Amino acid sequence: MNTAQLATRRLTSRIWPALGLCIGVSAVSLALAGHSPGLDQVLIIALVNLIMVVGLSVFVGNSGVVSFGQVSFMAIGAYICGMFTIPHIAKGVIIPNAPSVFQNTTLTTTVAVLLGGVVAAIVAYIVSIPLMRLTGIGASIGTLALLLIVHTFFANWKPGSSGGGNLTRIPTDTNVNMMLGWALIAIIVAFLYQQTRFGLRVRAAREDEVAARAVGINVARERRLAFTLSALMFGIAGGLYGHSVGSFSANDFFLSVTFITLAMLVFGGSRSLFGAVAGTAAVSAVSYVIEQWQGGGDVLGLSISLPAGTRELVVAAVLILVLLLRPDGITGGRELPLPRIGPFKRPRPGPVDSVPPTTAAATQSRPVEHS
C-alpha cells in the first residue's frame, strides 16, 4: 500500500462512523420511499425520531447525564415554527390570542424550523445555567421538572379558541427527501461535535468527573454546550414534526415521546452515534409492526389483532431485556466499523524472508588463542 492509499484509508477510517451511517440511512429511506403515502408518513416520523435520538445522544451519550427534559425543547420548536407558518389568512381564527409578532409574520418552512430550533437552544442555554451545576440523579430530576413546567405552560396556553395548546392548520409540506436531508445534517453535526475538543472534554467528565475537574475542565460549561446543541436539534425536530402532522397539542410532547426516545437510545447504545441510529431503526420497525397489528392489519401476510397499548408494553419489555443482557446496547457502545472489503480491506502482511539455516561450521565459536 503506497502513501496515497494509506492516507486515503486513514481519512476514510476517521470519517466512516458518520459517512457509513449517512449512506445506510439514505439507502434504507430511499428504498422504502414512494411505495405508499402511509409508508412515507411512517418513514417521515421515523426520521423525525432519528433527529431527536441523535440530539439526545449529543447530551446524554457524551455527558452520561440522563435527561428527561429534551422533549420540552421539541415542544418549543414546534409551537414557534407552527405559529409562524400558519397561513396568514387563517391566523386570525387559529391563533387570535397569540402575540402580534406571530399574527403579522409568516415565514417559510425552512426559516421557521431553524428559528424554532434557535429559540429552543436559547431557552436551553438559560435553564442549563442552574441545571448543569447539578450532577447525577439531581440533574436528571431537574430536567424532568423542566419537562413538567413546559408541558403545563403549553397545556394551559390558549393561542386560539380551544384549550390544551391545540395548534392546527400547519402546512403539511414535508416529504421523505426533505426529512432525510435534515436527518443527515443531524448525524454530521453530532459526529463533528464528538471530534471537537468540547466533545472530548465532556466525555472525559463522563468517565471521571473528579479527574476532569482536576485537570482544569469546566464540567458545567461543557455540559451546558452539549445541552444547548441537543436542544437545537430537538427544536428543529419539533418544527419538522408539526409540518409532518399538520396539528398537535401539548400532550404530543410529554412522557410518551420522552420514553420512546430514551428507549431508542438505550436500546441501540447511548455511547455511540451508531447506537442512536441503530436503536431508532430497530424500535421504529417494531413499533410500526405492532401498530399495524393493533389496528387489525397484516404485515408480510401475517394478521394479528393486538389490544391498544401493546406497543409500549413490548418496547418496555425489550428495553428491560437489553438492560439486563447488554447494558451498553445492541452496538456495545461502539461506532460503525469500517468494512474490510474492496478498497477498505486490510492489506495482508508480506511474506517473511526465510533465514537460511546456519551451518555447523558457522555456528562453531572460534577457539581462544592463548599467548
Which region among 163-167, 247-251, 271-275, 310-314 has the lowest average model confidence (pLDDT)? 163-167
In which domain, by residue range, is 173 found?
15-254
Q: Is the pLDDT at 363 greater than 70, yes or no? A: no
Q: Is the pLDDT at 121 greater than 90, yes or no? A: yes
pLDDT at 151: 96
Check residues 299 and 225 and name the one with the higher pLDDT. 225
Residue 179 maps to a domain: yes
**pLDDT (tens digit, 9 = 90+) per residue, 49-58?**
999 999 999 9
Q: Is the pLDDT at 371 greater than 50, yes or no? A: no
Q: Is the pLDDT at 350 greater than 90, yes or no? A: no
pLDDT at 164: 66
Q: How far is CA 291 from CA 183, 245, 285, 311, in A?
A: 24, 17, 10, 7
Confidence label for 359 from pLDDT (cuts 50, 70 and 90): very low
pLDDT at 290: 87
Q: What is the average pLDDT value for the chain, to the nearest integer?
A: 88
Distance separating alpha carbons of residues 238 and 82, to the nearest angstrom = 9
Q: Is the pLDDT at 80 greater than 80, yes or no? A: yes
pLDDT at 96: 85
Number of domains present in the structure of the chain = 1
Residue 344 maps to a domain: no
b (16+ CB within 10 A) / e for 70-83: bbbbbbbbbbbbbb
Cross-strand bridge partners of residue 171 = none
pLDDT at 232: 98
Confidence label for 46 from pLDDT (cuts 50, 70 and 90): very high
Residue 1 maps to a domain: no
Q: Is the pLDDT at 342 greater than 60, yes or no? A: no
Q: How far is CA 352 from CA 217, 346, 348, 349, 359, in A?
A: 48, 18, 12, 8, 21
Cross-strand bridge partners of residue 167 = 248
What is the distance of C-alpha 72 from the center of its chain?
Answer: 15
Over residues 165-187, the mean pLDDT reads 94
Residue 148 maps to a domain: yes
Could you give phi then psi for residue 167, rounded to 5 degrees?
Answer: -135, 125
Residue 320 maps to a domain: no
Which region among 8-17, 106-115, 223-232, 315-324 has the lowest average model confidence (pLDDT)? 8-17
Residue 346 maps to a domain: no
pLDDT at 56: 97
**pLDDT (tens digit, 9 = 90+) per residue, 223-276?**
999 999 999 999 999 999 999 999 999 999 999 999 999 999 999 999 999 999
pLDDT at 310: 84
Residue 5 maps to a domain: no
Confidence label for 305 from pLDDT (cuts 50, 70 and 90): confident
Confidence label for 175 from pLDDT (cuts 50, 70 and 90): very high
Residue 47 maps to a domain: yes
Q: Which amino acid belongs to residue 38?
A: G
Check residues 366 and 85 and name the one with the higher pLDDT. 85
